């Protein structure tokens, strides 16, 4: 599976969260980081080239700071100019990585924003519907600047999983992601974690077999 991350941020060098995400990218030829403002701040968007890039990937991630509850202007321009209402993106996946300055609790009815993220992101869901793409669960990052080191580490792991796992939200896929990342470890603690995961998995598999047999 090939993943394209279409990043939009007008001042990305000054964004701690975007720099952290960029550094978090696994060393993986199947992931393309594509920052729009670096390419197209001064020149016109190369529509044909962008469409070829989309065609060459399976999972399309739009990653941006949630300015006024939607994408920055450059990403909107890209959507307006590049997307066609044909079936060229049919069956591909569309995901959103939203960097949000305020707290998760603000995004609900009665909260400060008064709308939840499922509602506010409906225009992107409608795009996916129109283009026959599969819309992924949202990947919101709330208040990055208040995160401590362990929260950031957790974010890094979830982010890598969101980019690379075909079924990123299943327990089995997450286990396998950990096992493959732990394959070569010689760290005693991590080796214990690995043993624990393998034990858990065989317990779960036994349970599953038992339930199927009933």
Binding site for its own copies (CB under 8 A): 67-74, 76-77, 79-80, 83, 112-115, 119-120, 122-123, 125-127, 129-130
Between 66 and 144, CB nearer to its own copies: 66
Could you give phi then psi for residue 53, rounded to 5 degrees?
A: -65, -45
Between 3 and 8, CB nearer to its own copies: 8
Write the CB contacts of 113 (distance below 8 Å, at least 6 apart in sequence).
69, 102, 106, 107, 120
Between 132 and 196, CB nearer to its own copies: 132
DSSP 8-class letter at 41: S
Between 71 and 163, CB nearer to its own copies: 71
Looking at the DSSP assignment, which residues form a beta bridge with residue 65?
Answer: 99
**Which is it for the CA torsion 116, 120, 125, 126, positive or negative?**
positive
What minimum distance in Å lies between the beta carbon of 93 and its own copies?
Answer: 18
Pair 2, 30: CB distance under 8 Å:
yes
- Neighbour tally for 78: CB within 10 Å: 22
Query: What does the alpha-carbon distance between residue 57 and residue 103 come to, in Å, rounded to a whole number?
Result: 32
Please identify which residue in the block is written with the tokens 């609790």: 105
What minimum distance in Å lies between the beta carbon of 172 and its own copies?
Answer: 31
What minimum distance in Å lies between the beta carbon of 130 and its own copies?
Answer: 7
Between 21 and 113, CB nearer to its own copies: 113
What minimum distance in Å lies between the beta carbon of 110 and its own copies?
Answer: 11
What minimum distance in Å lies between the beta carbon of 20 and its own copies?
Answer: 22
Three-state secondary-structure class, residue 80: helix
Between 76 and 194, CB nearer to its own copies: 76
Three-state secondary-structure class, residue 202: helix
Pair 71, 114: CB distance under 8 Å:
no
What minimum distance in Å lies between the beta carbon of 18 and its own copies?
Answer: 16
Closest of 69, 77, 119 to residue 98, by C-alpha: 69
């Amino acid at each position: 599976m090939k993943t394209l991350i279409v990043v939009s941020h007008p001042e990305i060098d000054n964004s701690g969260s975007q720099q952290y995400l960029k550094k978090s990218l696994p060393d993986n030829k199947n992931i393309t980081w594509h920052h729009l403002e670096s390419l197209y701040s001064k020149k016109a968007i190369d529509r044909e080239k962008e469409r070829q890039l989309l065609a060459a990937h399976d999972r399309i991630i739009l990653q941006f700071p949630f300015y006024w509850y939607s994408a920055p202007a450059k990403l909107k321009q890209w959507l307006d100019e590049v997307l066609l209402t044909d079936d060229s993106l049919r069956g591909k996946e569309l995901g959103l990585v939203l960097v949000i300055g305020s707290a998760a609790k603000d995004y609900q009815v009665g909260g400060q924003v008064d709308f939840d993220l499922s509602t506010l992101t409906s225009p992107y869901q409608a795009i996916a519907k129109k283009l026959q793409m599969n819309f992924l669960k949202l990947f919101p990052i709330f208040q990055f600047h208040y995160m401590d080191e362990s929260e950031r580490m957790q974010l890094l792991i979830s982010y890598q999983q969101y980019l690379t796992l075909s079924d990123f939200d299943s327990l089995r896929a997450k286990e396998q992601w950990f096992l493959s990342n732990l394959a070569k470890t010689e760290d005693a603690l991590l080796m214990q974690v690995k043993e624990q995961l393998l034990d858990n998995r065989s317990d779960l598999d036994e349970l599953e077999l038992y339930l199927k047999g009933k």
